[in-house]
Every structure is written in structure tokens, then in C-alpha cells.
Amino acid sequence: MKPFKSLLMIGLSAALTMFSAVSAADNSYPKKTITFICTHERHSDLDVNTRLLAKYLSASLETKVDVINAVGANGVRAMELFKDEIPDGYTLLSTRAQALMSNHYFGDTTLSYKDFAPIAIYGQTCGDHVVVSESSPYTTFEELIDAAKENPDEISITVAMNGQSYLAAKLFETRMGAKFAIVDAGSNDLGRLEPVLNGQVDATIVPYATVRPYLKARNALSLANLDYSRLNEAPDVPNVTEFKDARDIFLSDYFILLAPKNTPKDVIDLLSTEINDLVLSDLDYLEDVKRVNYKFPYALDTKATVKRLQTMDEQFSNFRKEF
């Protein structure tokens, strides 16, 4: 009986070991295609950076990473759809941090960053710029603001209503005394720029990445940058913070990856680690980011991402009280 029991125990032990291995394999992540939902249109700075991250993360995780665009209302449409996704780490949301803030504080949605599980900030935008056409009579930011003071409601500016560009235009009014004719041209960056290039509108606020080709072709002129520091590629363009009464109007924006609420912590941690290692260490990724985003790579882990969102939330809340 004893030999039989020994063989039985050995067999049982082997079976349990095999079962544990199979269970571990079954629970491994990822084991199927991951999908990134991008909240803005194709060829936008967010879309370009989302697809770049997907390409490199696919190689790093050894799994396919797809990107689909769900465009509308500055990301609200995608956020509303995404919040009910299964929290398994296979459907993730790529958006701009400022869109999370503006959509919530302007009442376009009740959702805030607290309704999702932040994974990581994986990049920083190259800044939204105040832009006019090359033939504009306004060649400096001061001239544009002065014109909007002297001619209330006559100097037109296109914005994405309730987005970051709208917030900036309103702060120019409350802080600097300008009074613009604000035109809602939607969240499509190029859609806000084209009326300026065509001479239909005086000014706009769009990402540098969008307007860059037109600046290089001398069809447009950037008057000011909304980021906290001057862009290395455009060192002659001043920051809005350099002007009187606008010292704290810096609207730095970030590319952020979110998971549905209640996504397992080990999945969040794995993705955050992979993204930070990739963004901060991969030399090929560095060169690609510099090529498409005109800035060095930038990333924050989950804890630092949440802290950054909290700071932005407080800033946006204070700005919103002004109008």
C-alpha cells in the first residue's frame, strides 16, 4: 500500500503543478489583441502619438495593439462609450488630459478622471499656439489683444467650444480685458485653422503640430504658446505667461492612457511599467517622438499621473470660477 500511496502522491503533486502552470498561463496578460480608443481625429497630434505608442508597445508586449478613432465633442463621445467597457485591460482610452478637465468642468459630461483608472501619461503636447494668417495685420500677441480690447466682439477667434482653446480665449478676456467674437469650429484642429488661413477668421488656437507645416510654408504666424516654456523648435514664439496679467495662464497638456474603473491593479502596473520603460529608454522611440511631436519623450507612472491630474483639476477648477 505504501508504494501505491507514494506513487499516488507523486502523481497528484505533478497534476497540481501542471494545473498551477496552466492557471498561471491562462491568467497571463496580454493574451489577445489590445485596442486603444483614440478620442480625436486621424492625423491629430493625439492620434499620431497614440499610434506611435501602439506600434512600440505591440513589439514590447508581443501582442497586437490596434487603434480606433471615436471622434466627437472633444472626446466626450468616446469617454461615454468607454466607461462601460469590460475592465480586463484589452480596451484602453487614449486622450488628452485637458480634455478630461474641460469636458467635466464645462458640463459636457459628468465624467472626470476619477471615473477611470489612469495608467500613465505617455507624452506631452508641444503646446497650443495662438495663430493668425501670414497676411494678418497683427504680428504680435499684444497687437491681437489690444485689437480685441479696442474693438469688442469684432476680432474673431475659432475655438473648440468648452475645450482648452475656449478656456484660453475666455481667460484672455477675464485676465487681459480682450473681448473676442468667439467662433465654435469644433474639436478638429485643422477645422479651426482653415478659416484663419482662408481669411475668414482673425485668429485661432491650435496645437503646434497642426500648424507647423503652415508656419514653415509661411502661410501662418504663431503669436504665443500656451505651454509653460518656449518650444525649442520655435524659440522666438513667446509664452502667454510672459505677458502682464497672464502669468499663470499655462495650459500644458499631456497624452494619457486610461483603463476602465476596476481594471486589475497588476494589469495597470504592468502597462505603466512597460510604457515608462519604452518612452524613457527606447532610443528608436525617442527619435520617432522628436520627429512627430517636436519634443523629447515624456512619461509618468500611475502614481505620478494621478498626482498630475489632481493638480490640473485644481487649476481648472480655479480658472472655471472666473467666468
232-247: pLDDT as tens digits: 999 999 999 999 889 8
Measured CA to CA, the distance from residue 161 to residue 143 in angstroms comes to 24
Q: Which whole-number Å values give the CA distances from 84 to 37, 78, 79, in the listed order?
A: 13, 11, 9
E-only strand ranges, 97-234:
116-124, 128-133, 156-159, 181-184, 203-207, 220-225
**Residues recorded for the chain:** 323
Give domain 34-125+253-320's CATH number out of 3.10.180.10, 3.30.360.10, 3.30.930.10, 3.40.190.150. Answer: 3.40.190.150
pLDDT digits (tens, 9 = 90+) for 158-176: 999 999 999 999 999 999 9
Burial of residue 179, with CB atoms counted within 10 A of its CB: 0-12 exposed, 13-18 middle, 19 or more buried: middle
In the chain, CATH 3.40.190.10 sits at 128-242
CB 261, CB 89: distance < 8 Å: no
For 183-228, the pLDDT digits (tens) are 999 889 999 999 999 999 999 999 999 999 999 999 999 999 999 8
CATH class of the domain at 128-242 = alpha beta
Query: How would residue 27 be classed by pLDDT, with cut points 50, 70 and 90?
Result: low
221: cell is 504666424
User: Of 265 and 323, which is predicted with more confidence?
Assistant: 265
Q: Which part of the chain is CATH 3.40.190.150? A: 34-125+253-320
